[in-house]
């Protein structure tokens, strides 16, 4: 009788558990798809509206593009982050995660990973759209741009997932998440916009490098800080 209760092959480690949580979140998102499509449409509409909000004879479209891209990325990202913990509270599904033999950090990392996929999906469509609508001459810089996008997405998702975990438990979640997150997104937007502007204007990579360093440092600091802080957002 004792062997019926032996702890079944050891529970997953933190990274494996994070992957399980991420897959679960992505499966749910894929099932409904509404949040992703809404964020995508928002991003494309935003990019379009910005174009008409400027006097195109005074400011060249190519000069406008980096700013527009990263501002829209931030707000579309927020739409995605809003839904991050929504599925957990309704039927207390989060208790299933908390009662499982996995580290609390795995829950954060898993959700952040799912959010990263979500945000990356938006970027994959939005960046080509910006290149198209704003007539950007884009050649070999595309790889560097992808790198900047990746770093920016990591920073956005690290901070946004943490604040999403807190905001979802409050009365004004939709308002609180932007209020908490936007000050933290400012260094990301600045660094991403400034470095991609320089790259797209064909300036030497050395000019973009200081901004990339800020972005890299930001990611390291905030991914660490948010992973450590996450367990404190749980009611224990």
Partner 1 sequence: MPPVVHAENLVRAFSGRRVVDCVSFTLNEGDCLALFGPNGAGKTTLLRMLAGLLAPGQGAVHVDGVPLAAGPAARARVGLVSHASMLYGALTARENVALAARLHGLPHPDDAAMRALATMRVDDRADVATRTLSRGLQQRVSIARAIVHTPRLLLCDEPYTGLDDAGSVALTATLAERRDAGAALLLVTHNLAEGLALATQAAIMRRGRFVRHEARALLDVGSYQSQYRELAAVDG
Partner 2 sequence: MIRSVSPARDPLLGVAVLAIAAVYVRALAFTPIEARQGAAQKIMYVHATSAFIALYVAFVLLAVCSLLYLWLKDEKLDRVAESAAEVGLVFTTVVLVTGPLWGKTIWGAWWTWDARLTATLFLWFLIVAYLLLRGAVEERGRRARYSAVLGILAAPLVPFIHLSVYLFRTLHPMPILLKPSAPSMPSEMVVTFVASFLAFALLFIALLRARYRIATLRDALADHEEAHG
Position 57 contacts partner 1 (CB under 8 A):
no
The total of other beta-carbon atoms located within 10 Å of residue 128's CB is: 13
Q: Residue count at the site for partner 1 (CB under 8 A)? A: 34
- Contact partner, 100, from partner 2, partner 1, none, Cβ < 5-8 Å per class: partner 1
Exposed, middle or buried by CB within 10 Å (0-12, 13-18, 19+), for 119? Answer: buried
Distance CA 196, CA 22 (A): 29
- From the list 67, 87, 146, 216, which residue makes contact with partner 1 (rule: CB under 8 A)? 87
Q: Between residue 143 and residue 202, which ones bind partner 2 under the rule CB under 8 A?
A: 159, 162, 166, 169-172, 176, 179-180, 182-184, 186-187, 190-191, 194
Least Å from the CB of residue 119 to partner 1 = 20
Distance CA 59, CA 97 (A): 51
Q: Is residue 193 a contact partner of residue 183, using CB atoms and an 8 Å limit?
A: no
Position 176 contacts partner 1 (CB under 8 A):
no
Distance CA 148, CA 208 (A): 10
Position 205 contacts partner 2 (CB under 8 A):
no
Region of 217 on the Ramachandran plot (φ > 0 left; ψ -120 to 50 alpha; else beta): alpha
Q: Describe the chain by its helix, strand, coil percentages, rounded to 5.
A: 80, 0, 20
Binding site for partner 1 (CB under 8 A): 1-2, 4-5, 7-12, 17, 20, 24, 27-28, 31-32, 87, 90-93, 95-104, 235-236
Binding site for partner 2 (CB under 8 A): 159, 162, 166, 169-172, 176, 179-180, 182-184, 186-187, 190-191, 194, 207, 210-211, 214, 217-218, 221-222, 225-226, 229, 232-233, 235
């Amino acid at each position: 009788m004792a062997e019926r209760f032996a702890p079944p092959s050891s529970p997953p480690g933190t990274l494996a558990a994070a992957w399980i949580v991420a897959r679960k979140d992505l499966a749910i998102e894929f099932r409904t798809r509404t949040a992703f499509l809404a964020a995508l449409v928002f991003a494309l509409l935003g990019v379009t509206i910005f174009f008409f909000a400027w006097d195109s004879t005074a400011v060249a479209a190519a000069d406008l593009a980096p700013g527009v891209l990263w501002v829209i990325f931030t707000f579309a990202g927020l739409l995605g982050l809003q839904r991050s913990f929504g599925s957990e509270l309704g039927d207390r599904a989060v208790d299933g995660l908390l009662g499982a033999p996995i580290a609390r950090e795995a829950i954060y990392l898993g959700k952040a990973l799912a959010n990263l996929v979500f945000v990356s999906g938006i970027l994959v469509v939005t960046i080509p759209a910006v290149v198209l609508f704003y007539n950007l001459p884009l050649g070999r810089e595309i790889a560097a741009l992808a790198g900047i996008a990746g770093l920016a997405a990591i920073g956005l998702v690290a901070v946004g997932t943490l604040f999403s975990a807190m905001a979802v438990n409050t009365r004004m979640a939709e308002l609180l998440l932007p209020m908490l997150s936007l000050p933290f997104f400012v260094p990301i937007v600045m660094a991403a916009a400034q470095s991609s502007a320089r790259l797209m204007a064909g300036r030497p990579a050395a000019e973009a490098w200081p901004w990339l360093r800020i972005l890299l440092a930001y990611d390291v600091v905030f991914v660490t800080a948010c992973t450590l802080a996450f367990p404190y957002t749980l009611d224990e």
